[in-house]
Amino acid sequence: MSAPTLHRPSGPSPYRPPRPAPYRPTGLTWTVLRLHRTALYVWGAALLTVVAALVWMHAIGPDARAVTGGCDASDPFPMDCGIIQETEAHKIYAYGLALVSACVTFQMYAVAVWAGAALTGRELESGTARLAWTQSVTPARWLATRLAVPAVLLTVGTTLAVLLGDWARRAGNEELFGGWFNTNVFISSGPAAVAYALAGLALGALAGLVLRRALPAAAAALAAVYVLHEVLDGFRMSLWPAETATGRAALRLPHGTLVLEHGAVTGSGERLSNNMACVGTDSAAALEKCVRGTGLTDFWTTYHPESHFWPLQLMESGLLLAVTGLAAAAAFALLRRQHS
């Protein structure tokens, strides 16, 4: 007895719809991310390193605080108090925060060099930009995307680093990472850090459009942000009016104050700058004795209290954003002129 055979029905095979193709992101944003993925990976790794370091600093902050002494709120010389004993936790906390603050402060240099060399300069030099313009992408849209994508990433990442840095500093002792007016601490503690990064991006992109070659654009962008950084660093404390104290108040300033100038007045009315006589006297009797011995009649001090941190931050951030806007506007104007 033979086994039954299976007969396939004759005629056309039933219709099978094709499998949908896997989704692949498209558009200018995806093009920018894919074209500059190496820089994206490096920046992402650096950001993750900074985040991990700040979380660690926060964890060891109480141990670092435990080995430092407190300062008298009226001590005019905060550096004379504080450290009682140095331990491994203190070293790691102080050096770790200093390193992270420097990285956040000086990231504008790396951003400017990359923007000048790769974001615009190399694409113009190699013809990649011109190829994009032939595919229904206008030069203005091409530049807008190349500025907007890294600007968003830099804003989010730098803001995260600033917030985590403040979180880590509150866990420890401020005597371990310098005063609020220290350059690296000041920039890395507020919106100025974001503004510096955006200014570096805009200046670098402008340099690339002007020179249209990667290496010269990188050098020009580096020089531009160096000048900007040094100028603002030199005039930072002039961006907001300082306060002046006279008499005994000039000798016992609050802790955390940045003294700009201190002087005394003689019996003849002459003002002596940088005269530190009688500073730190503990009582009215001690002050009277000091005044009799020096022949001085009054004292004055020009200073920035710690409460000036935010006005100075906002003023510097505003100037940097103005520079960013001017550089971006110049870049668009130059591109429109070149292709009009």
Angle at 184 between CA 215 and CA 68, to 5 degrees: 145
Tell me what pLDDT residue 71 has: 52
Tell me what pLDDT residue 254 has: 80
Q: Scan for tokens 């000091």, then name that residue.
A: 290
Tell me what pLDDT residue 250 has: 73
Tell me what pLDDT residue 266 has: 73
* Residue 170 CB partners (closer than 8 Å, separation 6+): 61
Tell me what pLDDT residue 13 has: 56
Instruction: Render each residue's pLDDT in the chain as its tens digit; 340 residues.
Output: 455 555 555 555 565 655 554 445 457 788 888 888 999 999 999 999 999 999 998 888 787 776 555 554 444 444 445 444 566 777 888 888 899 999 999 999 999 999 999 988 888 888 877 877 777 778 888 899 999 999 999 999 999 999 999 998 887 666 666 788 999 999 999 999 999 999 999 999 999 999 989 999 999 999 999 999 999 999 999 999 999 888 777 777 887 888 888 877 776 666 766 666 666 666 666 666 666 666 677 777 889 998 999 999 999 999 999 999 999 999 999 988 887 6
Pairwise CA distance, residues 285 & 270, whole Å: 24
pTM above 0.85, yes or no: no
Pairwise CA distance, residues 273 & 23, whole Å: 71
Specify the long-range contacts of residues 166-171, CB closer than 8 Å, at least 24 apart.
167/54, 167/58, 168/54, 168/55, 168/57, 168/58, 168/61, 168/97, 169/97, 170/61, 171/57, 171/58, 171/59, 171/61, 171/62, 171/65
Q: Residue 324 in contact with residue 198, Cβ under 8 Å?
A: yes
